[in-house]
Amino acid sequence: MFTRNQKHILIKFFSLFSVVRGYNILIIVIAQYLTSIYIFAHDKPAKKVLLDVNLLMLVLASAAIIAAGYIINNFYDSEKDLINRPNKSMLDKLVSQNTKLSFYFVLNFSAIVMASYVSFNPVLFFSAYIFGIWFYSHKLKKRPIVGNIVSALLTIAPFFAIFIYYKNFDTVVFVHASFLFLIIAIRELTKDLENMKGDLALNYRTIPVVYGEKVSKNMMTILVVLTLIPLYLLINVFEIGKMNYYFYAAVILLVIFLFLLWKSSTKTHYVLLHNILKIIVVAGVFSILLIDVNLVLKRIL
């Protein structure tokens, strides 16, 4: 049995875990390692990649900054989240704003220290990344289109750090990145539709608020159609092994998404659409293993 003090600490931990969305960070860490092994450094032994201390520092620095980003985002969006996500908001409030902000600075400082272990260039990159997240949360988030684009770019930035580290300029890398960017951009628009009630109440100038739901849906339809371009290239042009099955499934899910999108009108509908996009992203992370099934054993042993 837990003592009262232990229960209090445990509740605080879960509250902080909710604020930094630890499950999302775990997925990003796994994605960074899988993309390093199978895409960015596919010509190197997997064991060498896994034991690369520089890569570990870059991944940990990314994770720390992303966690800090969720904290500062939670700080600026606390009123809106109370409307859009009341249950999660109540859990998040179990940790004081002062504690969150202290943790925010500690995480960012730790990230810079870890980046400095690699070289000065990652320090510059992650410093700009920290500023970008803060500026987005403070200013750009309330601006239509610009806020969506910046948010999508910030989401894929951790992979850019790994890309620069390995200096892999293969065309397939850019095609993968364009697919991920478009999916994230669609997700951002979906979140705007999902959170429209809170955005309206607090005067967030998102695309649905400023231009209406129909314009948002038209933009999302265009983005889905654009997503078919990298999907076609990845399936038919590049050698990606059995990962092409994932991309076939992604096409089917995007068609379902588009069909449901034009029939959606409530928050429940938009949450469902958001979950479809989450499935595409998370499944995409683990489907990287399918690029070369033999590598799962051969390169690690």
Q: What is the CA radius of gyration of the chain?
A: 20
Is the torsion defined by CA of 16, 18, 21, 26 positive or negative? positive
Q: Where are the domains of the chain?
A: 18-143, 170-301
Residue 113 has what pLDDT? 96
Which of the 8 DSSP states describes residue 207? H
pLDDT tens for the 301 residues of the chain, in order: 556 666 666 776 677 777 778 888 999 999 999 999 888 888 888 888 999 999 999 999 999 999 999 888 887 777 777 777 776 666 667 677 788 888 899 999 999 999 999 999 999 999 999 999 999 988 888 888 898 999 999 999 999 889 889 887 788 889 999 999 999 999 999 998 988 888 777 778 889 888 889 999 999 999 999 999 999 999 998 888 889 999 999 999 999 999 999 998 888 899 999 999 999 999 999 998 888 655 444 444 4
Q: In whole angstroms, give the CA distance from residue 193 to residue 54.
A: 40
Q: Which residues of 79-109 are buried (b: 16+ CB within 10 A; e: fewer)?
A: ebbbebbeebbebbbbbeeeebeebbeebbe
Residue 115 has what pLDDT? 95
Residue 296 has what pLDDT? 45
DSSP run (H or E) holding 140: none
Residue 299 has what pLDDT? 43
HEC states along 51-102? CCHHHHHHHHHHHHHHHHHHHHHHHHCHHHHHHHCHHHHHHHCCCCHHHHHH
14: CB partners within 8 A, 6+ apart: 91
Phi-psi region of 204 (alpha: psi -120 to 50; beta: other; left: phi over 0): beta
C-beta of residue 182 within 8 angstroms of C-beta of residue 226: yes
Q: In whole angstroms, give the CA distance from residue 179 to residue 173.
A: 10
266-270 long-range Cβ contacts below 8 angstroms, 24+ apart: 267/194, 267/196, 267/197, 270/190, 270/193, 270/194
The residue behind tokens 């996500």 is: 85
Q: In whole angstroms, give the CA distance from residue 114 to residue 123.
A: 9
Residue 48: Cβ within 10 Å count: 12
Residue 8 has what pLDDT? 60
- For domain 170-301, the question of CATH label 2.60.40 is answered with no
Q: In whole angstroms, give the CA distance from residue 194 to residue 191.
A: 5
Is the torsion defined by CA of 121, 124, 126, 132 positive or negative? negative
pTM for this predicted structure: 0.88
> CA 92, 95, 101: angle at the middle one, nearest 5?
100
Residue 265 has what pLDDT? 86
Q: In whole angstroms, give the CA distance from residue 252 to residue 258.
A: 10
Class of residue 298 by CB neighbours under 10 A (exposed 0-12, middle 13-18, buried 19+): exposed
Return the axis-axis angle of helices 171-194 and 267-287, rounded to nearest 10°.
160
Return the axis-axis angle of helices 22-35 and 53-76, rounded to nearest 10°.
150
* Fold designation for 18-143: Tetracycline Repressor; domain 2 (1.10.357)
